[in-house]
Amino acid sequence: MGHRVRSSVFRNVLLQLLVAVPVAWVWLPARADNLLGLYVGAGVGQSHVRNDLSTFSNLNGFVQNHTGWKALAGIRPISFLGAEIEYADFGHPGVSGATSALPGFIYSADVSQKAASAFGLLYWPLPVPILDVYGKAGISELRTRIHATASCAAGAACTGGPIASQQSFTDARFAYGAGVQVKLLGLAARAEYERINESAGSPDLYSIVLAWTF
């Protein structure tokens, strides 16, 4: 019950942020400058999708590389502090093979992980105006979906029929990351790493992000 309450509170906070950002976007151009440092961006990179699959005991966890992407919006009202909201899709990889837990069976499994996150950012003071180094920490609502099947291999003598398992869970979890960015006029290019701390398997993402400051 506790994780459901945390997820509900997180969804309410995230919804308020998602409403506030477009309002600020409309309001800020009417000002002399962008006082909040509002920016939007998107990125793509390599993710690691992780989860402990309990359906077949010999899998010993699911860890697969995949292409991930994310979209974000943030503010930087002062030079060393900022805040950001983000949606990340870590990908949907799959695996297959023989399983010793079920003699004669072959399995296939796929895992999808997605997250909506809210971060605080701390920028390291540097004497180079076009360069930023930063760390970030916050909370993510991580959604994991697992689909697994096992069926008798051709010509094998199996006990029992096909097995199928579908699992889905959502929880609020601590998330963190770090990055470096180079700025030119209103554009910024980032190289960034982030990870969500999940006991059943922590997904992470190495990404290149392009952002635009209004």
Question: What pLDDT band is residue 101 in, cutting at 50, 70 and 90?
Answer: low
Any idea of the CA torsion for 179, 182, 185, 188, to the nearest 10 degrees? -40
pLDDT value, residue 63: 87
**Cα separation, 151 vs 156, whole angstroms:** 10
Distances (CA, A) of 179 to 83, 132, 148, 193: 14, 8, 35, 6
Domain limits, the chain: 2-213
18 Cα distance to chain centroid: 17
The DSSP letter of residue 11 is H
Give exposure, 163-189, as e/b (b: 16+ Cβ within 10 Å): eeeeeeebbbbebbbbbebebeeeebe
Condensed to tens digits (0 to 9), the pLDDT of residues 114-128 reads 999 999 999 999 999
Q: Which CATH architecture has domain 2-213?
A: Beta Barrel (2.40)
3-state class (DSSP) for residue 68: strand
Check whether 23 has a pLDDT greater than 80. no
Condensed to tens digits (0 to 9), the pLDDT of residues 35-59 reads 899 999 999 999 999 887 655 545 5
Segment holding 157, helix H or strand E: none
